[in-house]
Amino acid sequence: MINISEVTETNEMIQHENLDVRTITMGISLFDCIDSSLDECTKKIYDKICKKAGKLVETGEHISQSFGIPVVNKRISVTPIATVGSSACKTEEDYIKIAETLDKAAETVGVNLIGGYSAMLAKGNTDKELIFLNSIPEALKVTSRVCSSVNVGSSRTGINMDAVRRMGDIVLETARASYGTESLGAAKLVVFCNAPDDNPFMAGAFHGITEGESVINVGVSGPGVVKKALEAARGADFEVLCETIKKTAFKITRVGQLVAREAASQLGVPFGIVDLSLAPTPAVGDSVAEILQEIGLEYPGAPGTTAALALLNDQVKKGGVMASSYVGGLSGAFIPVSEDQGMIDAVEAGALTLEKLEAMTCVCSVGLDMIAIPGDTPAESVAGVIADEMAIGMINNKTTAVRLIPAIGMKVGDTLNFGGLFGYAPVMPVNTFSCEKFVNRGGRIPAPIHSFKN
Amino acid sequence: MQKVVITVVGKDKVGIMARVCTYLADNGINILDISQTIVSGYFNMMMIADMGDKIKEFEKVKSELDEMGTSIGVQIRLQREEIFDMMHRI
């Protein structure tokens, strides 16, 4: 039987170390909402989301009460809208109507974010998908809950450089469209390579076309728990360090597995995956950067950072995989800048640059995340940064993503303040040398070779 | 059987156990196991109980225990046992 020290340990994690279930995300297929009439299409989408997710928030609250663990977010992901709307939508305005429908449905069922205003363009794009891309800036301006993502490359298909170049413009236009709200629109837009179909975390969540009717995916989080456990391993060698991370990751993930199973059973929806990610928040003691510091770095960005992050990411996976029957999504350590107080401190101290962050993304869970850049950065340079990150994902067979926020009217040293879970971000410099001729070539980068690995 | 874990943490004083146990008895909740420690004057108690024959809903019991805790100056938590089982048992 469970003993008092085990109960105390679990409750300490919840009460003092920010252990929580970060999100229960319900994936909903919208394929059966495809219609040539836009009115019919939006009606079907609204009705289906409200029907499937009507009890999502209530169930999340109920589970939170039963186990005494916070379930921070209840969210929805849907089939990529570029596909769902391709029959009904003739213009950008038509796609924006679907975005407004998603926003309204999310409000009705009480979720704070809904993902899936997305397009899958890894190899090429249809005419409708181009119209869809053009609709993103306005769609993210007129809605408050909708999140958008665009997959522009994969290890199997290479990188769609036409889409990368276009996304350079779209990211800037999205930031400009939401000028006055700290360019918040761009914080809800992610560019992916190898985007996973079952990611529960926003802003990149969508219900992939390989998924079933509906599914429950769960993301747990506990950077604070790992940090606390590592305090007891100060000065110990790498074996002890790695074992400590692994054991802690196991415990954290077990909670995710329990909550995912329980939510799936109560909602009568299949359990999909648990995402193992260590997801920080701006709260003190809920930071991946603090773990890196506990491992032995003065600040993230110092020499050794990539090795420390590689170790952390790998041990989290090793511990987590055994704890859950199905692992998926992004699963690793997130290193967003604005959402992690330790990362913000590192940038402000001059320890962390965009280039070092790029190196870190080779071994971490996702990519260049929540990074504010000067508002006058040329679209070509934004596209160049995206292309670099996509190449890392393509060659290394991993998911990479870019979520840059051009801070319109701001310069290096200024700060964007989003508030809440999005946090705040010091504007970071981007290399000012041009890549214009490179990104404007057009076409795609061929798929990489999958042998002769060096 | 629905196993739950009740934890009581707070400054030690007369009658904490009596209050909690009386409440559980009145509400058809059977105590299976109790352990308690006092560390530097702080009362730390854990009970494993069965809510299978409960009279009231889980949420109701949870909020009433919470209120009782506030009135006697301790923190009382009610949680389903699975969270501890999952975390500490393979």
Q: Which residues of B touch A10 (CB under 8 A)?
A: 83-84, 87-88
- Write the pLDDT tens digit of every residue in A403-448: 999 999 999 999 999 888 788 999 999 999 999 999 999 999 999 9
Average pLDDT (B39-63) is 89
Distance from CA of B38 to the nearest CA of A (A): 12
Distance from CA of A168 to the nearest CA of B (A): 44
Residue B39 has pLDDT above 80, yes or no: no
Q: Which residues of B touch A248 (CB under 8 A)?
A: none
Contact state of B78 with A8 under an 8 Å Cβ cutoff: no
| CATH level 3 topology of A220-436 | Anaerobic Ribonucleotide-triphosphate Reductase Large Chain (3.20.70)
CATH hierarchy code of domain A21-193:
3.20.70.20
State which H helix or E strand residue A277 sits in. none
Distance from CA of B82 to the nearest CA of A (A): 8
Each domain of chain A, given as residue ranges in start order, spans: 21-193, 220-436
Q: For residue A226, how many other CB atoms are within 10 A of its CB?
A: 28
Rounded distance, CA A231 to CA A244, Å?
10
Any chain B CB within 8 A of the CB of A255? Answer: yes
Res. A238 pLDDT band, cuts 50 70 90: very high
Each domain of chain B, given as residue ranges in start order, spans: 3-88
Handedness of CA A318, A323, A329, A332 (dihedral sign): negative
Better pLDDT: A451 or A189 = A189
What pLDDT is stored for residue A284 in this prediction? 83
- What is the second-level CATH architecture of the domain B3-88? 2-Layer Sandwich (3.30)
- For chain A, the average pLDDT equals 94
Rounded distance, CA A358 to CA A386, Å?
11
Q: Which of B48, B77, B88 lies nearest to residue A11, judging by beta carbons?
A: B77
Q: Which of A2, A4, A62 lies nearest to residue B81, judging by beta carbons?
A: A2
Q: Predicted ipTM?
A: 0.91
Tally the residues of chain A: 454
Res. A452 pLDDT band, cuts 50 70 90: confident
Alpha carbon distances (Å) from A438 to A161, A172, A444: 10, 19, 12
Any chain B CB within 8 A of the CB of A325? Answer: no
Closest CA in chain B for residue A322: B90
Contact state of A66 with B36 under an 8 Å Cβ cutoff: no
Residue B12 has pLDDT above 90, yes or no: no
Best residue of A1, A59, A321 to probe chain B, by most B CBs closer than 10 Å: A1
